Amino acid sequence: MAKLQILEFPDERLRTKAAPIEVVDDALRSLIDDMFETMYDAPGIGLAATQVNVHRRLLVADVSEDRSEPLVLINPEIVERDGVQTCSEGCLSVPTITADVTRAERIVVTGLDRNGESIRVEADGLLAVCIQHEMDHLQGKLFVDYLSPLKRQMVRKKLEKRARLEREHAEVRA
Ligand code: NI
């Protein structure tokens, strides 16, 4: 397994719309394993392929405390949604930033698992938030898109400054 690089806002590649996956093979399973390793290492509770610069409809998630509920969704589609909930969200592609986002309280998602078998997942609470957040990534959408333009501009400035400081520190270390 290998840790993958996570793209960070405002990287334009995060805006790419992912294409459906046609074949679930060993190469894809290897990518899935790498995505889990990357997500757990970060640490995070969800990761979309878009975030590791693979523009295909795939996400992984695990909202458990002890990494006991790994979920793989290939070509996910929301077939039912109910209710609303507002949750403070963060994102591995938007480090250090959190913001309240309102989403469906309960969803039903269909897709394929890592063996290419059809699955149907009923999710509520945090898992429902996580799946909706990751599915947004597959559409090129980020949680900061739900903020006002002014607030999003502040986030962009903050992260650009952070990236600049990191580059300068890297140069000092070199
Ligand atoms: Ni995210």
Mean pLDDT of 73-102: 96
Give the per-residue pLDDT at 89. Answer: 96
Checking if the pLDDT of 1 tops 80, the result is no
Give the per-residue pLDDT at 172. Answer: 80
Q: How would you classify residue 58: left for phi > 0, otherwise alpha for psi between -120 and 50, otherwise beta? A: beta
Checking if the pLDDT of 154 tops 70, the result is yes
Two tokens, residue 154: 């502040």
Q: Where are the alpha helices (DSSP H) in the chain?
A: 26-41, 125-138, 149-173
Question: What would the pLDDT profile of 21-33 be if each residue is shown by its tens digit?
Answer: 999 999 999 999 9
Give the per-residue pLDDT at 174. Answer: 67
CA 120 to ligand 1 centroid distance, Å? 22
CA 91 to ligand 1 centroid distance, Å? 4
Is 171 an active-site residue?
no
Residue with tokens 């392929």: 49
Give the per-residue pLDDT at 151. Answer: 92
How long is the chain? 174
Give the per-residue pLDDT at 8. Answer: 94
Give the per-residue pLDDT at 171. Answer: 81
Mean pLDDT of 31-37: 98
CA 174 to ligand 1 centroid distance, Å? 31
| Percent of the chain topping pLDDT 70 | 99
Which of these is catalytic: 69, 117, 134, 171?
134
Checking if the pLDDT of 173 tops 80, the result is no
Average pLDDT of the chain is 96
Mean pLDDT of 122-146: 97
Mean pLDDT of 95-109: 96
CA 69 to ligand 1 centroid distance, Å? 19
Checking if the pLDDT of 103 tops 70, the result is yes
Hey, what's the torsion of the CAs at 120, 61, 86, 9, to 10 degrees? Answer: -130
Checking if the pLDDT of 67 tops 90, the result is yes
